[in-house]
Amino acid sequence: MLEFLPQEIREGLEAATLRKLKRRSRLRVQLGDAVFPILRMWETGIALDAARTPHLRGLIDIYDGANQIFQCLIVASSVENGEVICEFKRATPVSENAPLDFWRDENAPVAYLPRH
């Protein structure tokens, strides 16, 4: 249906859609001091604004506001319809605690009481 509209109107609609995606998303990619807003995110990749983002490859950090939520390894990126599409090899959730290297018993005591 968009193919019947004049070129200026189609470009205006695409720009409005891009502005709406930028405003709605709190997700962002941070590389050093550079910050790039994420337009869309799915299980195996993300979409970024092609006008502001270089081709990404390697290890990146994804933030939701001020909280880091993922550390991702980008293996491929391409430009499609004004978006840089980045594909992940892995997306590791960031945790507050270090991973345990032992099994923790559910019935283990939480604390020990001193003797009197």
| pLDDT at residue number 4 | 74
| pLDDT at residue number 46 | 92
All structural domains of the chain with their residue ranges: 26-93
Please, are residues 37 and 48 in contact by the beta-carbon 8 Å criterion?
Answer: yes
Cα Rg for the chain, rounded, in angstroms?
A: 21
Say how far apart CA 15 and CA 17 lie, in whole Å.
Answer: 5
**Tokens of residue 89, six digits:** 């090899």
Percent of the chain surpassing pLDDT 90: 14
Which residues in the chain show pLDDT less than 70?
1-3, 18-25
| pLDDT at residue number 3 | 67
| pLDDT at residue number 45 | 92
| pLDDT at residue number 87 | 92
CATH class of 26-93: mainly beta
Say how far apart CA 75 and CA 32 lie, in whole Å.
Answer: 19
